[in-house]
Each structure stands twice: as structure tokens, then as C-alpha cells.
Amino acid sequence: MNIPENLKFAQSDEWVKLEGNIATIGISDFAQEQLSDIVYVEITVASGDKVKKNSLVATMESVKAAADVNSPVSGTITEINDDLANAPETVNSDPFGKAWLVKLEVDDPSELDALMDASAYQSYCSNRSH
């Protein structure tokens, strides 16, 4: 399982990459493995939308299940990844790269302090898969 060191993780399996005041959000390798083959991605927010921490930003469907994706931080959406609508399988092949979901301008950077670093997330995932 791939867990990049430069990301923060939520218990609900979203990842956050902070660059300046812009957070890029996606789902983790663990999450896409649990979902299996992703066949549909719908981003439920638009550029300019304000989102609160833990609010819905996307839904995904796989051959096994459907899942909601929530924002681990509050902010204003600056960009959405329109490419996923036509290529949802990208979430399986590149969850930390081309399969980012949304970018947002963070309202309160201290919200990231509540998220796990890579090693804490690794332990968290290990404990769930037993």
C-alpha cells in the first residue's frame, strides 16, 4: 500500500496535500483498494463553493460499493477535477496523482493538525485490515 510521506490523512481515508494555502484532496490507496474497480465519480461541488470540514465533495461508485468523499478541511473550492467523470478508473491507477478530486483555499490551516501523518495512517490502516 502506497502512503506518501508528504500528505495528511483523515480517518475517512481522504488525503490532503497543502501547498501554500491551497489544499488538494483525494482518496487514499487503501480506500480505492477497498472500493475495488471504480466505475463512476461525481464531484458534488463547484468552483467558488464554500465547504465545511467533513462536508460532502464527491461520490464514487465501484463494482462493490458506493462511497461519499468528504473534505477534511474547510475552505473555498478553487478547482475540480473534471477528468474523473470520463475516466473514473484513474482513482484506482493513480489515487495520489491524476485522481485528485478538488482543490480548495483553506480557511483554517490548524484543521490539518487533526489529521494523521503517513506513519499514523499506516498504523490506522493496518489495524483495520485484520
What are the sequence ranges of the domains in the chain?
8-108
Encode pLDDT of 4-20 as tens digits: 999 999 999 999 999 99
Mean pLDDT of the chain: 96
β-bridge partners, 70: 56
Q: Does residue 121 sit in helix, strand or coil?
A: helix
Strands (DSSP E) found in the chain: 8-9, 14-19, 22-27, 38-43, 50-51, 56-62, 66-70, 75-80, 102-106
Cβ–Cβ under 8 Å, residues 91 and 60: yes
Average pLDDT over residues 59-66: 94
Is 130's pLDDT higher than 80?
A: no
**C-alpha cell at position 23:** 489544499
CATH number assigned to the domain covering 8-108: 2.40.50.100
Name residue, grid cell 478530486. 101
Binned at pLDDT 50, 70 and 90, residue 1 comes out as confident
pTM for the whole structure = 0.95
Contacts of 94 (CB under 8 A, 6+ apart): none
Q: Does residue 25 sit in helix, strand or coil?
A: strand
